Amino acid sequence: MLLNSAEQLYDPEAKIFLADRFVRGVCPNCAYEEAYGDQCESCGSSLNPTDLINPRSVITNAKPILRTSTHWYLPLAKYQKDLENWIKNHQDWKPNVLGQIQSWFDQGLKDRAVTRDLPWGVPIPVDIAVKENIDALGKVLYVWFDAPIGYISATKEWAVSQNDPELWKLYWQDKKTKLVHFIGKDNIVFHCLIFPLMLKTHGDYILPENVPANEFLNLEGNKLSTSRNYAVWLHEYLEKFDPDALRYCLANNLPETRDTDFSWKDFQARNNNELADILGNFINRTITFTNRYFDDKVPKIVSFDTLDKKLIKILENAPKIIGQSIANFQIRQAIKEAMDIARFANKYFNDKTPWLTTKTNRDKCGTTINLCLQTIKAFSVLFSPFIPFTCEKRK
Q: pLDDT tens digits for 201-237? A: 999 999 999 999 999 999 999 988 887 899 999 999 9
The answer as to whether 338 is a domain residue is yes
3-state secondary structure of 116: strand
Helix, strand counts (H, E) of the chain: 16, 14
Domain ranges, residue 306? 220-391
CA distances from residue 46 to 118, 186, 188, 199 in whole angstroms, order as listed = 22, 9, 10, 21
First-last CA distance in the chain? 61
Print burial letters for 174-184: b (CB count within 10 Å at least 16), e (below 16).
Answer: eeeeebebebe
Tell me which H or E stretch contains 70: strand 65-74
Separation CA 275–CA 269 (nearest Å): 9
Separation CA 163–CA 166 (nearest Å): 9
Closest to 74 in 3D by CA, of 133, 149, 156, 126: 149
The answer as to whether 250 is a domain residue is yes
pLDDT in tens, 357-372: 999 999 999 999 999 9
Q: In the 8-state DSSP scheme, what is residue 186?
A: G
Print burial letters for 117-152: b (CB count within 10 Å at least 16), e (below 16).
Answer: bbeebeebeeeebeeeebebebbbbbbbbeebeeee
The answer as to whether 17 is a domain residue is no
The answer as to whether 271 is a domain residue is yes
Separation CA 1–CA 315 (nearest Å): 56
Number of domains in the chain: 1
The answer as to whether 336 is a domain residue is yes
Per-residue pLDDT, 136: 67
Per-residue pLDDT, 395: 59
For the domain that residue 343 is a member of, what is the CATH number? 1.10.730.10
Per-residue pLDDT, 129: 67
Separation CA 180–CA 169 (nearest Å): 16
Per-residue pLDDT, 135: 67
Q: For residue 26, which phi and psi values (nearest 5 degrees)?
A: -85, 130
Separation CA 105–CA 84 (nearest Å): 8
Per-residue pLDDT, 46: 75
The answer as to whether 97 is a domain residue is no
The answer as to whether 192 is a domain residue is no
3-state secondary structure of 68: strand
The answer as to whether 163 is a domain residue is no
Separation CA 42–CA 47 (nearest Å): 12
Using a 10 angstrom Cβ sphere, with 0-12 exposed, 13-18 middle and 19 or more buried, the burial of residue 239 is exposed
| Positions of the chain with pLDDT lower than 70, given as ranges | 129-130, 132-137, 395
